Amino acid sequence: MLALFRGRTRKAASDKDPLLSASPRRKRWSTSRTKAYVSRLQQMGRSGGQRTKASYVIQTVLLVLVTQFANAQSSIKPSKVPADSVNASGIRKESLPDGSRPNSTGPSVSAEERIASYTYWLMWFTGALATVSVVQIIFLSRSDKTARIAANAAQKSAEAAIASVAGMEGQQKAMEGQVNKMGEIAAAVEASARAATDAVATTKEMNARMKQVSELQSRAFLSVKLGGVIPQDIPNGLRFEPRMLLVNDGNTPAYNVTFRTAADVLPLPLPEDFDFPLPDQSPERSASVIGSRQEKIISAVVARVYSDEDVSQLMRRDRTALYVWGQVNYTDAFGIDRFVRFSNSFAWMKNGNVMSYDTREHNDSD
């Protein structure tokens, strides 16, 4: 019965519906279109992310069911039925083996009804597909919105990172400027230190010079001047005794003043190798103080008495002369030990006055 039913429906459908008569072509078309659509859905699913997987699966299942339903409907081939076995209503007449007619169990389904049923279910499947497509569009829209939000957030993050980098660059430049300023300050401090060092050195030098000037202005200056000559007087037992004045020309006293002197008649001029010998310092020597602008007499006596001819000759400074030399030692007010060396020769004027002449050597002081 089922085979007869399938044969009759296929015949009717093929005679009245060219779409079903071209079932192999429709089958091929439906399969290729389905594959292409599934591939497109896969691409959309990959681009849409995890949110569209459920709608992709549902849509794929619906497409497969629709395709299988269409293939099942188009694969039914109508069988050839004799013309006399179909009545005017389109109902096939069947006979039993004994030639009797079977009781009809109900009206048979025509091709138009099957096409209408197919179209009905296809409409529902298409609506379901449209619903799934709408849901997918919603998901895609949300995914696109989420992507835009993420892109905006990423852009803001990038802008914040750029601003942060710019801020760090500004801080770096500021730090470099501070380092440069600190270098300039260090250079200025170094220059100031050098200037201070130079100033200290200059101040020290100035203080030393001021001290020296002060010492020079305030110290004791002892000098030796002519005091006179006691002539030789044989009857009275006097020998030539040159006398010198030791004068303090300074502003402070001279302390611990000692001296050694000698006198003699020597050739004129003095030999170059004359070393101005002095007597040894006496253990019983005295030490004195000569105040500012004060003086003291120091003298020396020749060792022997000379003849009148020798006296006349030395008074004229004729190849001989009377000499006196010596050395004075003292301490000034600043505690500095100082000395004065002197050496003089004498000449008598016609009026009896005596003049002194400094020798070329042995006249110095500190």
Q: For 214-244, how does the pLDDT look when each residue is reduced to its tens digit (9 = 90+)? A: 888 889 999 999 999 999 998 998 999 999 9
Q: How far is CA 97 from the centre of its chain?
A: 116
Among 271, 251, 265, smallest CA distance to 323 is for 265
Cβ pair 201, 209 in contact under 8 A = no
- What percent of the chain stands above pLDDT 70? 70
Give the model's pLDDT for residue 178: 86
Angle (CA) 230 231 235, round 5°: 115
Identity of the amino acid at 249: D
The contacts of residue 364 (CB under 8 Å, 6+ apart) are 341
Q: What's the mean pLDDT in 84-105?
A: 50
Q: What pLDDT, in 10s, does the model give residues 158-217?
A: 888 888 888 888 888 888 888 888 888 999 998 989 999 999 999 898 888 888 888 888
Give the model's pLDDT for residue 120: 79
Q: What's the mean pLDDT in 260-286?
A: 90
Cβ pair 222, 248 in contact under 8 A = yes
Quick check: 67 pLDDT over 60?
yes
Cβ pair 89, 8 in contact under 8 A = no
Cβ pair 307, 360 in contact under 8 A = no
Which carries the bigger pLDDT value, residue 51 or residue 343? 343
Angstrom CA distances, 95 to 4, 5, 102, 161, 172, stand at 13, 15, 6, 91, 107
Alpha carbons 64 and 58: distance in angstroms, whole number: 10
Q: Count of CB atoms within 10 A of residue 230's CB? A: 14
Say which CATH topology domain 222-365 has: Immunoglobulin-like (2.60.40)
Q: What pLDDT, in 10s, does the model give residues 12-64?
A: 444 444 444 444 444 444 556 656 655 665 565 555 555 556 666 676 766 66
Give the model's pLDDT for residue 81: 46
DSSP annotation of 265 reads: E
Alpha carbons 227 and 240: distance in angstroms, whole number: 13
Give the model's pLDDT for residue 36: 63
Q: What's the mean pLDDT in 286-304?
A: 93
- What percent of the chain stands above pLDDT 90? 37
Cβ pair 293, 220 in contact under 8 A = no
Among 247, 244, 245, 243, smallest CA distance to 222 is for 247
The contacts of residue 45 (CB under 8 Å, 6+ apart) are 52, 53, 56
Cβ pair 245, 334 in contact under 8 A = no
Among 320, 220, 302, smallest CA distance to 261 is for 302
Mean pLDDT of the chain: 78
Alpha carbons 54 and 51: distance in angstroms, whole number: 7
Give the model's pLDDT for residue 106: 52
Domain with CATH 2.60.40 in the chain: 222-365
Q: What pLDDT, in 10s, does the model give residues 109-156?
A: 677 777 887 787 777 778 787 887 788 788 787 877 888 888 888 888
Give the model's pLDDT for residue 53: 60
The contacts of residue 243 (CB under 8 Å, 6+ apart) are 227, 228, 229, 230, 297, 298, 299
Among 291, 224, 227, smallest CA distance to 259 is for 224
Strand, coil or helix: 3: helix
Alpha carbons 140 and 38: distance in angstroms, whole number: 17
Which carries the bigger pLDDT value, residue 80 or residue 304? 304
* Range in 86-95, 205-214, 316-325 with the lowest mean pLDDT: 86-95
Which burial class, exposed, middle or buried, applies to 87 when counting CB atoms under 10 A from its CB (0-12, 13-18, 19+)? exposed
